[in-house]
Amino acid sequence: MQLPNLILASASPRRQELLHSAGISFEVIPSDVNEEMEEGETPEEHVIRLARLKALKVAEKHRSRWVLAADTIVVIDGRILGKPRDRREATGMLESLSGREHRVITGYCILHFSSGKCRQGIAVSRVRFKELSVEEVRWYLDTGEPFGKAGAYAIQGKAAFMVREVQGSYTNVVGLPLCEVIEALREMGDIAVHSQTTPVENPG
């Protein structure tokens, strides 16, 4: 069977679902990199650097194929909210987001190693939460959904009730700015977009 010419360098089921919903054929080959922020790095510089590193790590092993990688963060008061390590940290994140606006920033990179072609970009969305009661935070934590999610919430899941307003790309908040990424894929030229082929997952 011929493999798709696009590799998604991410294990995120949300990014996979977004690409699949757009009819894009791809193979999943996750890329692990150190996601710690470097000294003096802005949030925008951080997500672009990580997206590029993730793409490069996979592209070096698959030089004749296109690789798409992305990194998404939640930022409030200049502070990056990563994935909560425990219930206490998740509680603190949700309390800091309650009743306020925060930014969701995604950096993405599309890379073809052998040709040297590369396209990268950043999408920024603004999200405003309703005021969350203690009971609502406790209920949401009990669902288990906050864990493994940047900012301790999943807008496409049970956290939808928290969101009062989204300015900018909704899919960016989910994990991948689909409009911008598909436009970039089309402009790159050699990538199958809107194929009917079912995505192939590589468990390794």
Query: What percent of the chain is predicted at pLDDT more than 90?
Result: 79
For the chain, helix, strand, coil in percent to 5 are 35, 25, 40
pLDDT in tens, 85-102: 999 999 999 999 999 999
Q: Identify the pLDDT of residue 186.
A: 87
Q: Which one-letter amino acid corresponds to residue 110?
A: I
Please tell me the distance from the alpha carbon of residue 130 to that of residue 121, in angstroms, as a whole number: 30
Among 30-39, 69-78, 129-138, 148-157, the range scoring the smallest mean pLDDT is: 30-39
Higher-confidence position of 62 and 2: 62
The pTM (predicted TM-score) of the whole model is 0.88
Cα–Cα distance measured from residue 145 to residue 152, given in angstroms and rounded to the nearest whole number: 8
pLDDT above 70: percentage of residues in the chain: 91
Closest CA to 31 of 64, 6, 59: 59
Mean pLDDT (the chain) is 91
Band of residue 39 on the pLDDT scale cut at 50, 70, 90: confident
Domains of the chain: 6-201 (3.90.950.10)
- Residues known to be catalytic: 71
CA distances from 140 to 91, 124, 134, 160 (A): 10, 25, 10, 11
